[in-house]
Structure 1
Amino acid sequence: MTSSTLTVNASAGVELSYIDSGAPAQASYITIFAIHGVIFTKEIFQRVIDLAPSKGVRFVALNRRHFPGTTPLSPEELSITQTGGTGDSQREGLVEARGHEIALFIDTFIQKFNVPSILSGGGVALLGWSLGATFALIVISSVDTLPEDVRRRLNEYMRSLILYVNDNRRTPPPPIALGLPTPKQNWTFLVDTTVPENLRLPAFGQWCRSYFDHADIVGRDLDKLSWVLTSPRRTPTLFNGMPLSIQRYGEDAATDLPFLFFSKQILAAYRKTFFDPGVFPSMKRAFVCGDKTCAFCIAGLWAVQDEEKELRTADAKAVKYRIIPGANHFVHWDDPERALDVFIAMA
C-alpha cells in the first residue's frame, strides 16, 4: 500500500506520512486513526488495514515525527526530546506541539476526505498502541489550545479513545507512559545494564513480540505476572512474517527512549484526558490489552483501574476495559481480524 502525506504545519513545513484503507462501501462509517509505538512503523497495522473495508470501517495509520516519510524533528526539538530541555516550559511546549500535529492531521483528513461525523453515523476513534498511547493522550489533552474551528470540528467527530498497550521503564505505556510509578518487579532489556547498550533496543524488539504465561491476572498480584520469562507454548510474533522494513532501531526509534524526561507532562495529559469531564464529554475511553502480553501492560491496566476509582467524578465517563484472551502485544499482526473486531467494539 502506498504512503501519502498531509501537511499539518505549513509554516514549519511539517508533514505526517500515513497509509489508508480507504472508505468502505457504505455512506456512513467509523474512521480509526492509529498511532504506532517504538521501533515499529505505521505498517505494523497493515494486516488490519487490509481487512477494514470488509468490516465497514476506515483505518488510517500514521507515522510520528522522525519516522520514515514524516518530517524529522528540528535540531531544537530533537535536543529537547533527548535531554528534557531546560525546564518544564520547554517540555510542555514540545508535548503540546506533538499533540497538535496529530490533532491537525485528523482535522485535515476529515475535511479532505469528507469523513462522516458522529451525527451521520460515523465519527473518529483514536487508537494509540504501545508508546503511541502516550501520543494519543497528548492529542486529546492539548486540543483546548487549538484554533476554535478545529476544536469545534473535532468535537463533532471524536467518539472514542482506545489505549492498546504495553509498558516498560523507558518505552511506555502504563504505568510509566501515563507518568505513573513503575512497579518494582519491572524488567526489560532496555534497562538491563548487563546488556551492551547498542543491543538493548533490538533485544527488546524481539522479546516484546513473545507471549507470556502469567500465573494469575484475576487476583491483581504483580508477583504473579511473568515479568521476564516468555512462553514456550506459542511462537513469538517475530516469526510470523514481519518484514524488517517496518522495524526501526536507529536514530528515529531512539528518539522515543528519552520520553522518561516527560513523566510530569504525560501524567497531567493522562489524567486530564481520562478524568476531566470537560474534555470531549461524549467521548468513550477504553483500555485494551491481551492476557498473554508483557506484564507491564496488565500492570498498567490495574493502575488505571485504581486511578479511576480515586479520580473519576460522577459526571465523567467510565473507562471501558477489555482483556483479549490468548493475545500478546501484537494481536493486530498475529490475529488482525480479532484485533479489528475489538477496536470496532471499543469505538
Structure 2
Amino acid sequence: MPTAPVNQDGAVLYYEESGVPNGSTDYVTIVLIHGTCFHSGIYRRMIPYAADHSLRLVLLNLRGYPGSTPYSTSELDLLEGGSTASDDTGSPQDMALQARGMEVAQFLRWFIKTENIPAIRDTGSGKLLGGLSVLSWSGGNAATFAMFAHADKLPGETKSLFDTYLRSFVMYDPSSTGVGSPAPPGLKTVNVDRSATFEEQAMQFGLQVGSFYPPFTVSDNLDAARSHPPRLALQDSGEPFDPKYAPSVSPSKMTPEEFKSMTHPQIMERLQHANWAAALQAAHAKNMYRTLCDCTSDDGSGMRKKVLPAVRMHVVWCDMTCGEAAWAVAVLKRHAFDHAQSPAARVVEFHPVLEGANHFVQWEEPERFVKVLAGIV
C-alpha cells in the first residue's frame, strides 16, 4: 500500500498511480484529488487512457479516507472551533485548513523528489513538456485552495522546487463548499439526512450529486443565478428522459461493489458535516480569494510579489452538473472578473463547458475526460 509522509506527526497519504507512460521522459504528471465521500477510486477508469496522452496519473486520498491517516480528535475539534477571525493569527478553522493544504504541498514535494519526474521544459513553441499539475474535484478544491492560499509559508526549497515542476491547477467542477459560498435555493442539490446510517447518507449524497440536471449556462451575473428556479434532477422532473442520463450511481451504471470500492461512508460520522458547517464558510472563502489574487511574499527587496507566479489556473465544469458546482463556477467567474486588475491576481482560464456531462464525467466518460485534460494541463 503506497503512502507518502506529509507532516511531522507521522501522518501519511495513500495514493495509486498509472506509472510512467511508455518509457517517456517528458510526460506530464497529474495529481488527482477527490471530492466528498467518493475517494480517489472514482478516477480508476481513467488509468487505461493515460499513456496514450503521455500522462502519469496519481490518485491521491486525503486525510480521513482509506489508506490515509485518520483525523485525530484534536484535529477535528480544531476544524469545528468557532468563527473565523479577521486578524493575522487566524481562527481554528483557518489553522485546520492551512494544515490540510500543507499536507497536499508536502505530498507533491515528496512525489516530485522520490519519483524523479521530469521538470517543466519549454519547447520554444509555447508548449510545455514535463512537470506536474494538480486537479481537484468538487469539495477537494478546498484542500488545494488551502495549499495555494498559504504558499507564501512554504519553505524556500519547496517554493523553488515548485517553480521548476508545478505547472497548473485545474479546478474541476468545484463545489460551493470549496469557494465558501452556499448555493442559493434554486441550485441547492445536497440535503443529506444526518439521522440516517453512514451508508445511507453516502448513497443519498451520491444520488444527489451524481444525477444529471438540465443544462445550466454559467455567467458572472450572480443575481441571475441567485434567483434561478428550482433545478430538479432529470429523473425527478416527471418528464421522460434518456436512460443514458440516469444517475451515475444507478445499478445500470455502477454496481454495489463498485460503489463500495470508491466511497467512504464513515466520513459522514463527523468530518464531512464539519466541512459543510456554516462556521467554516468564511475560512474557505478566504482561501479561495488568496489563491486567486492575494498570495504574495516579500522577495527581500521590500516589494511583495506573487508566490508561484508561473502556475496556471484552469476551471473545467460540466453543463449538467449539480447545482452546488454550477454555483461555484459562477462565483469563480464573478470573482475573476471583479479582481482582474489586482496586481496580484492570477489569470484564470474558464474552459468551454463539457456538454452533456454530469458531476461524474471521470466515471461516465473517462476517455473523453483524459483527452480534455491532456489539452489543458
Instruction: Please confirm whether the aligned pair reaches a TM-score higher than 0.5, indicating the same fold.
Output: yes
Q: 1:130 to 1:217 in 2, by over 3 A?
A: closer
Give, in angstroms, the shift of residue 149 of structure 1.
0.7
Q: 1:336 to 1:86 in 2, by over 3 A?
A: closer
Stretches of structure 1 lacking an aligned partner (at least 5 in a row): 167-172
Aligned residue pairs, count: 335
Q: In structure 2, how many angstroms separate the alpha carbons of the residues matched to 1:189 and 1:111? A: 39
Q: Deviations over 1:261-295 (max 9, x none)?
A: 32222112111111237132111111111111112
SS in 2 for 1:270: helix
Matched, 1:304 2:332: yes
Q: 1:155 to 1:244 in 2, by over 3 A?
A: same
Partner of 1:18: 15
Q: 1:156 to 1:225 in 2, by over 3 A?
A: farther
Partner of 2:27: 29
Q: In structure 1, how many angstroms separate the alpha carbons of the residues matched to 2:132 and 2:64? A: 25
Q: In structure 2, how many angstroms separate the alpha carbons of the residues matched to 1:226 and 1:337? A: 32
**Superposition map of 1:141-290 within 5 A:** 141-166=149-174, 173-174=175-176, 176-190=177-191, 196-198=195-197, 199-214=200-215, 221-222=224-225, 223=227, 227-231=231-235, 232-233=241-242, 234-239=245-250, 240-241=253-254, 242-251=258-267, 254-259=270-275, 260=277, 261-276=279-294, 278-290=306-318
Matched, 1:128 2:129: no
Q: 1:32 to 1:248 in 2, by over 3 A?
A: same
Q: In structure 1, how many angstroms separate the alpha carbons of the residues matched to 2:216 and 2:314? A: 25
Q: Which has the larger radius of gyration?
A: 2
Q: In structure 1, how many angstroms separate the alpha carbons of the residues matched to 2:52 and 2:356? A: 24
Q: In structure 2, how many angstroms separate the alpha carbons of the residues matched to 1:142 and 1:39? A: 25
**Superposition map of 1:94-113 within 5 A:** 94-113=96-115
Tell me if the contact between 1:83 and 1:258 (Cα under 8 Å) persists in the aligned partners.
no
Q: One-letter code of the match for 1:344?
A: A
Partner of 1:59: 57
Give, in angstroms, the shift of residue 245 of structure 1.
2.1
Q: In structure 2, how many angstroms separate the alpha carbons of the residues matched to 1:182 and 1:226? A: 12
Give, in angstroms, the shift of residue 119 of structure 1.
2.7
SS in 2 for 1:188: coil
Q: In structure 1, how many angstroms separate the alpha carbons of the residues matched to 2:163 and 2:270? A: 34
Q: In structure 1, how many angstroms separate the alpha carbons of the residues matched to 2:370 and 2:62? A: 21
Greater relative contact order: 1 or 2 (C-alpha under 8 angstroms, separation 6 or more)? 2
Q: In structure 1, how many angstroms separate the alpha carbons of the residues matched to 2:373 and 2:216? A: 27
SS in 1 for 2:21: coil
Q: In structure 1, how many angstroms separate the alpha carbons of the residues matched to 2:316 and 2:60? A: 20
Partner of 2:37: 39
Q: One-letter code of the match for 1:243?
A: F
Q: 1:313 to 1:215 in 2, by over 3 A?
A: closer
Q: Deviations over 1:1-53 (max 9, x none)?
A: xx4111122x3111100001111121101110111111111111101123212
Q: One-letter code of the match for 1:258?
A: A
Partner of 1:169: none
Q: In structure 2, how many angstroms separate the alpha carbons of the residues matched to 1:85 and 1:269? A: 15
Stretches of structure 2 lacking an aligned partner (at least 5 in a row): 123-128, 236-240, 295-304
Deviating more after overlay: 240-249 vs 336-345: 240-249
Give the TM-score taking structure 2 as reference length: 0.81
Matched, 1:318 2:319: no
Q: 1:288 to 1:225 in 2, by over 3 A?
A: farther
Deviating more after overlay: 247-256 vs 129-138: 247-256
SS in 1 for 2:109: helix
Q: One-letter code of the match for 1:18?
A: Y
Tell me if the contact between 2:182 and 2:324 (Cα under 8 Å) persists in the aligned partners.
no
Give, in angstroms, the shift of residue 81 of structure 1.
2.4
Tell me if the contact between 1:16 and 1:70 (Cα under 8 Å) persists in the aligned partners.
yes
| 2:365 aligned residue (328, 335, 339) | 335
What value does the CA root-mean-square deviation take over the aligned residues?
2.5
